[in-house]
Amino acid sequence: MSTVSLEADFEPGTTALALPGISPGVYGPQDFAAVADMVRKEAGIVLPPGKAMLVYSRLAPLVRVSGLGTFSAYLAAIAQDDGARRKAVNALTTNHTFFYREEHHFTHFATVVRPRLAAQLAQGGAVRLWSAGCSSGEEVWSLVMTLLGPDKREGRMLAKRDLRVLASDIADHALDRAAAASYEAKGLDAVPEDLRAAWTRPSGTDLTIAPELRDLVQFRRLNLHGEWPMRRRFAVIFCRNVMIYFDQPTKERLVARFAEQIEPGGFLYIGHSERVSGPAEALFESVGPTIYRRRPQ
């Protein structure tokens, strides 16, 4: 996910509209406040006043399709409609990522974590990985390619073991894109050539992720702010550039929940501008830039 810069927006505490060309009767500060309250309760996402234009641009198409004419009428309607509210939350999420983003994470995973996981699998153990906030899939496919490695024979042997990967996001459209597993070839330029050759297939001007990888990954809609159904702990959790959208108490609760879900000695990878904080910080040790190891119990 990414942030968006805005040049025209509501000022905190104002009642006048500061968005040129938009009627206050259609969308005003009170509507933005209602949207911000809704998305915070639904998904833990914080929308500061500087996001007023973003909210308008994302939700205006849904307001038009609803035929209700104004944001206030639309918001009143979706308050009683779980499906419509889910579409609104989907529209308000920002899904921006790319292959091998923050390359140092994958270098660490390949050199430090992968050998341990490969040995664990070879000995008949189970390995579970989680890409939390997977967006359109580039992160999870980068992770699985790195895990299976450039040797196709070895990678296929690992894939036949007790290995599963969960990829979750709150946005349905992002999950659909991720599960399709097909991307413009130039989007994979950052992926090491040997991994790209081993685990992708040409499809016109696109590259499609190989079936061996696709069989390992389960895509699920999951609200990090809600209930988690997982029964097993994870050896590795990637949750990058997600916490930047949460307030501090929500970040701290999320870190504590991750600590519960990671095996002792397992790893948590977060975004370059994010930090592990709060009471659960004591359960982690920093082992690299935005890389944390769960302390053994």
Catalytic positions are 58, 169
Question: Which position has the token pair 């196709």?
Answer: 152
DSSP-derived pairing of the beta strands 262-270 and 206-209: unpaired
- Collapsing DSSP to helix, strand or coil, 8 comes out as coil
Are 18 and 6 in contact, with CB atoms under 8 Å apart? no
DSSP-derived pairing of the beta strands 182-184 and 284-288: unpaired
In the chain, the N- to C-terminal Cα span, in Å, equals: 33
Name, in order, each residue with C-beta under 8 angstroms of 161's C-beta and a sequence gap of 6 or more.
121, 122, 124, 127
- Collapsing DSSP to helix, strand or coil, 233 comes out as coil
- Collapsing DSSP to helix, strand or coil, 187 comes out as helix
Distance of alpha carbon 265 from the chain centroid = 23
Burial status of residue 270 (CB atoms within 10 A of its CB: 0-12, 13-18, 19 or more): buried
Longest dimension (CA), the chain: 66
d(C-alpha 108, C-alpha 113), whole Å: 7
